[in-house]
Structure 1
Amino acid sequence: MRLNHPQGAAAEEIAKRFLQAQGCRIVAQNWHCPFGEIDLIAKQGNDLIFVEVRFRKNQRYGGAAASIDGRKIGKLQRSAEYYLQTQHINCPCRIDAILLEGEQKPQWLTNITG
């Protein structure tokens, strides 16, 4: 699936710059596999971070955080596992989310899978 929505592309760019400002190095963007897509893959120290970017104009319907449901987390986990296997990577990793709502600062949720 291609990111065709201009707001989605802009949100990913904001998230990417935000992570870089926090000392992360972006490894991949919009990485696709049979299980889905990972918006950003970043390195922070020795950790590999799989990042889901969520943008919402406002808090209506629960906002950006509420849009990440169990089904989405399952797809992210399968995609991350596939990435690690196909790239032959064995390092500490986690799945995070960058939430963007309206004009607010990005919110970084770490280890959203628990």
Structure 2
Amino acid sequence: MGLLARLKGVRTARQQAGDAAEDRALHYLAAQGMRLVERNFRCRGGEIDLIMQSGETLIFVEVRQRTGDSHGDAAASITPRKQARILLAAQIFLQRYREPPPCRIDVISIDGARLQWLRNAIQA
């Protein structure tokens, strides 16, 4: 994608597919009774796709999608480096709170048409 397209805010096909996967995950989690706190939280060193709340618990959600299985399933694509970046972003987000609420990190894995919710998938 050229510089002009980026400046105009044009999204690549890959970015659009990622947005659609996040939308699907968001609708699924909302149907489970969760409330969206923030989407696409970005900070220096990391990002979190969805931050949801269920009762008093904050849930940091990483959404991963794969259309084929030639490189393993979507959840397997979360490398130790990516896990560290998610943990860092979660720690930075929690600095907003005087007393951080209970929290966990979940993964929504989308492989083709199959969506799988992995609770507490990444631990500090």
Query: What TM-score do the two structures reach when normalised by structure 1?
Result: 0.91
Larger radius of gyration between Structure 1 and Structure 2 = 2
For residue 99 of structure 1, report the CA deviation from its aligned partner. 0.5
Higher relative CO (CA 8 A, sep ≥ 6), structure 1 or 2? 1
Match of 2:45 among 32, 35, 44: 35
Runs of 4+ with deviation above 2 angstroms: none
**Which piece of structure 1 moves more, 17-26 or 4-13?**
4-13
CA distance in 2 between partners of 1:29 and 1:39 (Å): 6
Task: For residue 61 of structure 1, give the secondary structure of its aligned residue in structure 2.
Answer: coil
Determine what percentage of the aligned residue pairs are the same residue: 45
Match of 2:66 among 36, 52, 56: 56
Match of 2:54 among 26, 44, 48: 44
Match of 1:80 among 87, 90, 97: 90
For residue 45 of structure 1, report the CA deviation from its aligned partner. 1.1
Q: Which residue is equivalent to 2:3?
A: none
**Residue 89 of structure 2 aligns to which amino acid in structure 1?**
S
Deviations, residues 30-71 of structure 1 (Å, cap 9, x unaligned): 111112110000001111000000010022211101101111
Structure 1 residues 5-24: aligned runs within 5 Å: 5-24=15-34
**Residue 117 of structure 2 aligns to which amino acid in structure 1?**
W
Q: Which residue is equivalent to 2:77?
A: 67
Query: What TM-score do the two structures reach when normalised by structure 2?
Result: 0.84
| CA RMSD, Structure 1 to Structure 2 (Å) | 1.5
CA distance in 2 between partners of 1:15 and 1:113 (Å): 17
Answering whether residue 115 of structure 2 is matched by residue 112 of structure 1, we say no
CA distance in 2 between partners of 1:34 and 1:113 (Å): 20
**Residue 58 of structure 1 aligns to which amino acid in structure 2?**
G
Q: Which residue is equivalent to 1:95?
A: 105
Q: What 5-or-longer segments of structure 2 have no aligned partner?
A: 1-8
Count the aligned residue pairs: 111
